[in-house]
Amino acid sequence: MDFYIARQPIFTIHRKLYAYELLYRGTKETTLTSVNGERATTSLLSSAFLTEGIEIISGTKPCFINFTEDLIVKKIPLSFAKRKVVIEVLEDVMPTPEVIDACRFMHKQGYTIALDDFIYDKSLDPLIELADIIKIDFRLTPVDTLHKMLYQLRRFNVKLLAEKVETIDEFSKASKMGFSYFQGFFFSKPENIKIKELAATQISMVHLLAEVTQKTTTLERLHKIISVDVAISYKLLRFLNSAYFYRLQKVKTVKHAIAYLGEKELRRFIILIIISELASDKPDELIRMALVRAKFCELLGEEATDNFDTSELFMMGLFSFIDVMLDTPMNEIMDKLPLSPNVQAALTSQLGPYAIFLDIVQYYERGKDRLLSSNFSKIGVDENHVADMYLKALQYSNGLS
């Protein structure tokens, strides 16, 4: 039985990746709505830690995982490394003596404890004293209630995490209110988007991006681009000698690297390097998400019943955040890049035959489970294979990152 696992990034105030929250997404037979919290958590732990390997899913970052009252009392988190797990105490867990004792014991063992969907009540004080992080729904909590809670929490030694932060404005407001961590997709939205002139360095990179993206660009030209750029050469060799490839012998020359990768993967690699430069002032997670989207779209296209161009699906996923990276409208950027009409239609208008793939990856990222099944059916993808596709996409992203 396959489990869907999604991850959502958690950032520091400097927009650096701090951790991921891992979310259980049910199975084809049992959706999220039909699974209780305890089964969801145990299934997630079993799949993430015991079956797939947590390094693929979260790399070196800790994982926030929901724990029910029974799992806390049984001290289930102690089965996992304290540097890998943040114990997220669900909002419906009552501060019983058994819960307090278990949390106190795990706290003394060095585990990080977070209180989820927090609404202040005096009865929660014993739990708050043991907590390291308090998670508050920034969108759903009324402003007056939020200010009152923040005042009440001042006497405790806890850090605040704002959940469901979806815009840069919300991030800014939460920062000023004293929150230290931020969960949501605010980082994947353009900042102050408007028609503007790109900087000279950005124009140069966009021109290079356009040249590399063209299918008529020759392998000889790609070789020349790499050879004259020390940074690209270094990153290419480092990538090919990373653990992702499990190579016994090192790749020592650009010529060897090109022969090993082939034209398609070489082109993708150069595009990624250029995009990374364009996004150098953005959170690193933006590039990771673009890579996951690209590979996820490609793998979905390979499984789909219709004959989709998987290379174009990959490009669509990779370019899906280009407007955020440049803080420029997508249609203006598309005018400068020779991407196919189907890719451009999906990115600018959410239309055309590729748009459904972009919908699927966005639904998966945000946990919109009810919309996923119908879309999988439309493209003829077996839901039982999707979890493996997502994990492969994560692994691909880890290797390039």
- Is residue 390 within 8 Å of 7, Cβ to Cβ? no
- Is residue 96 within 8 Å of 114, Cβ to Cβ? no
CATH code of the domain containing 357: 1.10.3210.10
User: For residue 382, what are the CA distances in angstroms to 25, 355, 363?
Assistant: 15, 19, 16
pLDDT value at position 193? 52
Residue 65 backbone dihedrals phi, psi, to 5 degrees: -135, 135
Residue, of 133 and 397, whose pLDDT is higher = 133
- Over residues 155-193, the pLDDT tens digits come to 999 999 999 999 999 999 999 999 999 999 898 877 755
pLDDT value at position 50? 45
CA gap 245, 264 in Å, rounded: 17
- Is residue 44 within 8 Å of 312, Cβ to Cβ? no
Residue 41 backbone dihedrals phi, psi, to 5 degrees: -70, -45
DSSP single-letter state for residue 17: E
pTM score? 0.82
Residues 37 and 146 in one domain: yes
DSSP single-letter state for residue 47: I
Where does a domain end: 188, 213, 230? 188
Domain span including residue 130: 5-188
Residues 273 and 231 in one domain: yes
pLDDT value at position 46? 53
137 in helix, strand or coil?
strand
Q: Residue 197's pLDDT band (boundaries 50, 70, 90)? A: low
Structurally, the chain folds into a number of domains equal to: 2
Mean pLDDT of the chain: 84
Alpha helices in 217-354 (DSSP H): 219-227, 230-240, 254-278, 284-303, 310-318, 322-326, 330-334, 341-349
Residues 10 and 141 in one domain: yes
CA gap 261, 118 in Å, rounded: 49
State yes or no: pLDDT of 32 exceeds 50: no
Where does a domain end: 167, 188, 209? 188
- Over residues 301-355, the pLDDT tens digits come to 999 999 999 999 999 999 999 999 888 889 988 988 889 999 999 999 999 999 9
State yes or no: pLDDT of 23 exceeds 80: no
Strand duo 63-67 + 85-89: pairing: parallel
Ramachandran sector of residue 135 (left: φ over 0; alpha: ψ -120 to 50; beta: rest): beta
- Over residues 91-141, the pLDDT tens digits come to 889 999 999 999 999 999 999 999 999 999 999 999 999 999 999 999 999
Residues 37 and 132 in one domain: yes
Torsion from C-alpha of 344, 349, 354, 355, nearest 10 degrees: 150
Alpha helices in 11-131 (DSSP H): 37-45, 54-58, 69-73, 97-108, 125-130
Residues 211 and 131 in one domain: no
